[in-house]
């Protein structure tokens, strides 16, 4: 068997594991953030559930230092809260907070779809139609995680087609909290079916460049989701305050 060699043809020295750079706490913190975030939006961790750093660290096979870093970041992003002497909990939304968030979303996304009608390319429009088929297939199969991702990406694509950096920046401030609530609305019986029909109509209005009609439909689409949230009480406190993040899995860091 030939000896290991370099590109110059000279024998290379054996690789030693200690030569690897250790994974930084920052990267591990990002991994912990993604793991907790994914489990929240997938419904594995409910609103009001306690997030115990030691439990999360054990399940991700990392120390508690990056987990605490991740939880501090999530607190700064408005996704969790820290209660004195009790620890971190997934945030809950008051009725007023939900209403204000969705009213802002309705205003921004209605404006974005109007601009998208003017600026969308043929390629982007084709993608929307193809993506709509992905969402319909996911709903038909009852794959609500795939449907959630479809829903998130469709709204983001319409926002991108508006080609307004200030609009995208403003929407970015709402995105994470909006996704927390959207992950709950897709659980409501009948809501996904109504939403996907409205998405189909929106795409055709965009294709026809009917900006006013598209804006009206987008506003109705988002405010009807608000009505559903308030009607079914998703924003109300849960009984899960003593629940740990026990559903976190090592694989939860993907995505």
Q: Which domains occur in the chain, in start order?
A: 24-92+237-253 (1.10.10.10), 95-232 (1.20.120.530)
Judge contact between 248 and 35, C-beta under 8 A: yes
Judge contact between 161 and 116, C-beta under 8 A: yes
What is the model's pLDDT at position 152? 95
| Chain length of the chain | 255
pLDDT in tens, the chain (255 residues): 555 444 445 555 554 544 444 456 679 999 999 999 999 998 899 999 999 999 999 999 999 999 999 999 999 999 999 999 999 999 999 999 999 999 999 999 999 999 999 999 999 999 999 999 999 999 999 999 999 999 999 999 999 999 999 999 999 889 999 999 988 888 887 899 999 999 999 999 999 999 999 999 999 999 999 999 888 866 544 333 333 344 454 434 333
What is the model's pLDDT at position 24? 62
Helices (H), ranges, the chain: 25-41, 53-60, 64-76, 95-119, 122-141, 144-161, 165-185, 191-207, 211-232
What is the model's pLDDT at position 186? 84
What is the model's pLDDT at position 121? 98
pTM: 0.79
Query: CA-to-CA distance for 31 and 16, rounded, in angstroms?
Result: 26
What is the model's pLDDT at position 237? 42
């Amino acid at each position: 068997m030939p000896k290991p060699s370099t590109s110059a043809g000279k024998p290379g020295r054996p690789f030693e594991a200690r030569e690897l750079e250790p994974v930084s706490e920052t990267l591990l913190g990002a991994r912990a953030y993604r793991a907790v975030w994914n489990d929240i939006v997938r419904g594995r961790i409910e609103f009001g559930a306690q997030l115990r750093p030691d439990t999360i660290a054990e399940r991700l096979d990392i120390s508690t230092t990056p987990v605490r870093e991740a939880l501090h970041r999530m607190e700064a992003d408005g996704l969790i809260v820290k209660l004195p002497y009790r620890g971190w909990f997934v945030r809950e939304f008051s009725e007023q907070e939900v209403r204000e968030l969705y009213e802002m979303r309705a205003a921004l996304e209605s404006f974005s779809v109007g601009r998208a009608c003017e600026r969308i390319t043929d390629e982007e429009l084709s993608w929307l139609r193809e993506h709509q088929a992905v969402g319909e297939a996911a709903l038909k199969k009852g794959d609500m995680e795939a449907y959630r991702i479809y829903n998130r990406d469709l709204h983001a694509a319409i926002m991108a087609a508006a080609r307004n950096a200030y609009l995208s920046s403003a929407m970015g401030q709402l995105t994470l909290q909006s996704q927390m609530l959207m992950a709950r609305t897709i659980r409501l019986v009948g809501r996904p079916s109504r939403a996907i029909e409205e998405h189909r109509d929106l795409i055709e209005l965009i294709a026809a460049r009917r900006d006013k009609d598209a804006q009206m439909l987008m506003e109705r689409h988002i405010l009807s989701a608000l009505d559903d949230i308030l009607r079914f009480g998703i924003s109300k406190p849960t009984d899960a305050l003593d629940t740990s993040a026990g559903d976190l899995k090592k694989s939860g860091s993907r995505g």
